[in-house]
């Protein structure tokens, strides 16, 4: 039995590796390879996974480790910054998508109860898949990444409440009883977890950190302990693992713990996506071809468009709305659970689960591509979203700013905030540009010169007259934005100093080839350190054009 299980897992991983090589060669997200592997080794084709319980447990461990590492890196200041927009978009997206989805599903001939279950199920997006893709792109800490994680957690909480409600229907308990019990648990848990994370964990971590091996074992054990405790209280593994990571996020050892958990997380996540593929059976799919196509298009196009409109109503730029919208262009693991709960309760036919698996395969694979290339896609389609861009008030503000500005600071989040302190001391007029309305409102309240807009849009750069300034600093670590800006400046023969940001040394080298004077690589050079360099360097003095050519690369 043990040898059979060993060879079973080994065979599945070998097939996954072979398909991953092909997918990587085609420059596609590796998630696609793992899902395809699951389809091939699942019961529908080769039936190589004869120990489903083992694979299911391994996949749940992958989910736990993923959300544990997300919790470790969770910055409370960032959560506070996007908390309002996350709550608003998360709730509005679920409500609006469910209503529209109900209309679409009903028009396809499904009865009202089945339509309601499918509409609600398809309103949720996969936190696990999106977090993995955003981590691979290094976009977790971007504006749209933080907003996406925020509203996905809101979605998960709503899904948990819905599942608790469905379970209460099956057990006979009233919804009021379930809601009151859940609220009581939350009220008790918050002070308990705060006390543990602030009073008990710090001295305990200092002791276990004397041995790196002991620190690793303790971190894994803590993840399982907290997750298991919350599961026992009626919450999901996902919420429990996330909270376990959050309780360790303020410690001095979070980076070391993260580095040691990451290999485990990546291995078990591969199993998770393979297991997801094995569940995508296609029995009786021939009768559901039209609903599959229609609902897949709705999830892939309708969900992002709904998100864009919601975010625009809340003051966000179409680029932010589009990038965040691509993260909701697939259905979630909760979608399958809701459908299964409906089947168990006798309200939904089993064909709905087949439909969900087909839509899941289409949307998960397609949205992986959309998220991977969302910057490039928006650049090609941005003209279609002109109607969502800011109106004449901001245009008037741009006209005022561009005449006297000598320094443009593009991007205010983190690094930009540190640099702004130094720029103020340079005794030169400056303007901050950002497409986060929260950042713009914060700057405006402090009477800082700030403009709301997308620096990836050439027409916006034209309106700013950005080529007439002496110094441009972009703290946006997005290679698409950086290269687009550099190409724009090169065509217009910009003679001043231009500083951009990149994620890696390879991206930095490409930026230098395009004419960057200096490239900030945030993992290597912090905003605070660069601010010190900027303050000491002769960039801060009078000879801007000459200084620009002498900056050490």
Find all residues with CB under 8 Å of 195, minimum gap 6, and list them. none
Please return the burial class of 448, using the count of CB atoms within 10 Å of its CB with bins 0-12, 13-18 and 19+: middle
Looking up tokens 């409906």 gives 342
Please return the burial class of 123, using the count of CB atoms within 10 Å of its CB with bins 0-12, 13-18 and 19+: buried
| DSSP labels, 137-191 | HT-TTSHHHHHHHHHHHHHHHHHHHHHHHHHHHHHT--HHHHHHHHHHHHHHHHH
Burial pattern 529-538, b for ≥16 Cβ within 10 A else e, equals ebbeebeeee
Helix (H) or strand (E) holding 251: none
Find all residues with CB under 8 Å of 513, minimum gap 6, and list them. none
Helix (H) or strand (E) holding 301: none
Rounded to the nearest 5 degrees, what angle is found at the Cα of 45, between the Cα atoms of 42 and 47? 45
Find all residues with CB under 8 Å of 344, minimum gap 6, and list them. 170
**Residue 331 in 3-state DSSP?**
coil
State both tokens at 76: 């409370």
Rounded to the nearest 5 degrees, what angle is found at the Cα of 119, between the Cα atoms of 117 and 123? 115
All domains of the chain in start order, with CATH: 55-385 (1.20.1530.20), 391-549 (3.40.50.720)
The Cα–Cα gap between 481 and 375 comes to 8
pLDDT along the chain (553 residues), means of 10: 87 94 83 86 84 88 83 60 77 91 93 92 86 82 83 80 67 67 79 87 90 91 91 78 84 83 88 80 69 93 90 85 91 80 81 84 87 87 76 41 76 81 86 85 86 82 86 88 91 90 87 90 58 56 36 38
Classify strands 450-452 and 497-501 as parallel, antiparallel or unpaired: unpaired
* Predicted local distance difference test score (pLDDT) of residue 251: 79
The Cα–Cα gap between 478 and 475 comes to 9
Looking at the DSSP bridge assignments, the partners of residue 410 are 433, 474
């Amino acid at each position: 039995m043990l040898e059979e299980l060993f060879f079973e897992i080994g065979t599945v991983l070998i097939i996954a590796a072979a398909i991953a090589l092909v997918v990587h060669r085609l420059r596609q997200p590796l998630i696609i390879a793992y899902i395809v592997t699951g389809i091939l080794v699942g019961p529908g084709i080769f039936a190589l996974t004869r120990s489903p319980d083992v694979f299911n447990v391994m996949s749940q461990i992958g989910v736990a480790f993923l959300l544990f590492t997300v919790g470790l890196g969770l910055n409370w200041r960032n959560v506070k910054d996007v908390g309002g927009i996350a709550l608003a978009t998360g709730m509005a997206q679920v409500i609006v998508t469910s209503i529209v989805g109900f209309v679409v599903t009903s028009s396809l001939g499904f009865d009202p109860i089945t339509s309601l279950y499918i509409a609600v199920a398809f309103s949720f997006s996969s936190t696990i898949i999106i977090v993995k893709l955003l981590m691979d792109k290094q976009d977790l800490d971007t504006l749209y990444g933080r907003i996406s994680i925020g509203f996905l957690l809101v979605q998960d909480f709503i899904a948990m409440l819905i599942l608790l409600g469905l379970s209460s229907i099956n057990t006979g308990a009233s919804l009021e009883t379930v809601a009151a019990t859940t609220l009581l648990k939350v009220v008790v848990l918050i002070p308990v977890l705060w006390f543990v994370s602030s009073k008990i964990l710090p001295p305990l971590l200092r002791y276990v950190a004397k041995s790196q091996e002991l620190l690793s074992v303790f971190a894994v054990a803590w993840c399982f302990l907290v997750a298991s405790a919350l599961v026992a209280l009626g919450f999901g593994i996902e919420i429990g693992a996330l909270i376990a990571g959050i309780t360790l996020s303020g410690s001095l050892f979070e980076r070391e713990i993260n580095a040691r958990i990451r290999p485990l997380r990546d291995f078990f996540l591969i199993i998770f996506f393979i297991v997801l593929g094995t569940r995508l059976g296609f029995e009786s799919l021939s009768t559901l071809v039209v609903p599959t196509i229609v609902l897949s298009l709705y999830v892939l196009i309708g969900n992002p468009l709904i998100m864009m409109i919601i975010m625009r109503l809340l003051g966000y730029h179409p680029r932010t709305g589009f990038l965040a919208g691509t993260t909701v262009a697939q259905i979630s693991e909760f979608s399958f659970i809701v459908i299964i709960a409906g089947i168990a309760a006798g309200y939904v036919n089993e064909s709905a689960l087949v439909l969900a698996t087909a839509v899941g395969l289409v949307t998960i694979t397609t949205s992986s591509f959309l998220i991977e290339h969302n910057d490039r896609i928006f650049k090609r389609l941005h003209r279609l979203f002109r109607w969502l861009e800011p109106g004449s008030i901001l245009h008037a503000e741009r006209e005022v700013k561009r005449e006297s500005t000598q320094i443009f600071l593009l991007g205010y989040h983190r690094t930009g905030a540190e640099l702004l302190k130094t720029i103020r001391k340079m005794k030169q007029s400056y303007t901050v540009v950002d497409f986060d309305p929260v950042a713009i409102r914060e700057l405006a309240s402090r009477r800082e010169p700030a403009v709301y807009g997308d620096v990836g849009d050439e027409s916006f750069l034209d309106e700013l007259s950005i080529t007439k300034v002496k110094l441009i600093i972009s703290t946006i670590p997005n290679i698409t934005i950086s290269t687009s800006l550099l190409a724009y400046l090169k065509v217009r023969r910009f003679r001043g100093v231009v500083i951009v940001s990149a994620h890696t040394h390879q991206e930095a080298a490409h930026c230098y080839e395009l004419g960057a004077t200096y490239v900030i690589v945030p993992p290597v050079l912090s905003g605070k350190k660069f601010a010190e360099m900027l303050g000491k360097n002769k960039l801060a003095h009078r000879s801007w054009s000459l200084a620009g050519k002498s900056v050490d690369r």
